[in-house]
Amino acid sequence: MALNKIKPVVEELEGVRCIIVESGISSERAEFLQKLLTHNGYQVKTATSPENTVTIGVTDLMFNPVIDVYKRRLKSLTGKKVTPAYWLQQSDAETEQEVNYWK
C-alpha cells in the first residue's frame, strides 16, 4: 500500500487473511519490508506472482501502514522511528533527529 492510499485491502495470503502492505513489488523491497515489519512484531505473509513480483501482507487486520508510519509507531532495526522517506526507501540514512511538524 502506498502512503497515499488510506483504505486497507484485505486478501488471503498463504491461507490467512491479511492486510496487504504492498503488492507488485520487487523481492528486494519485500525483503526490506518483511524485516522491518517482523522487527515491529507483525506476522508477515508473502506471495510471489508468475511475473516475479511480490505481494506482502500482515496478519494483524488492524494494521494500516499510512497511520503507523505517519504516527511514528514503527521502529527501524536500529531503534529509530520510521519516517515516510525511510519507509519508501528514498533515503538510506535513518533520521538522526526527530522530524516533527510542530515545535
**Residue ranges of domains in the chain, CATH in brackets:** 10-87 (3.30.70)
For 58-75, write each residue's pLDDT tens digit: 999 999 999 999 888 999
In whole numbers, what is the pLDDT of the chain averaged over residues?
A: 88
Which long-range contacts (C-beta less than 8 Å, at least 24 apart) are formed by 77-81? 77/35, 77/36, 77/39
Q: How confident is the model at residue 83, as a pLDDT?
A: 87
2 contacts 65 by C-beta, under 8 angstroms: no
